[in-house]
Amino acid sequence: MRKVGERMKGKDTAKMIVTLCLVGLVLVGLYYLLHKNEGDKEGKKNQTSTEAQLLLDKDYERNYPATVREVVNQFSRISKCLYNEKISDAELEALVIQMRLLCDEEFLEENPVLMHIESMKKEVSDAQKNNYQMVRYEVDKLSSAKEWTAGEEKFASIYVCVTMKNNTQIEKSYEEFLLREDEKERWKIVGWRLASEKDLSD
**For residues 135 and 121, what is the distance between their CA atoms, to the nearest angstrom?**
19
Give the model's pLDDT for residue 197: 73
Average pLDDT of the segment spanning 180-197:
94
**For residues 77 and 57, what is the distance between their CA atoms, to the nearest angstrom?**
14
Average pLDDT of the segment spanning 11-25:
54
Give the model's pLDDT for residue 92: 96
Average pLDDT of the segment spanning 108-129:
95
Q: Are strands 187-195 and 146-150 parallel, antiparallel or unpaired?
A: unpaired
**Global pTM value:** 0.74
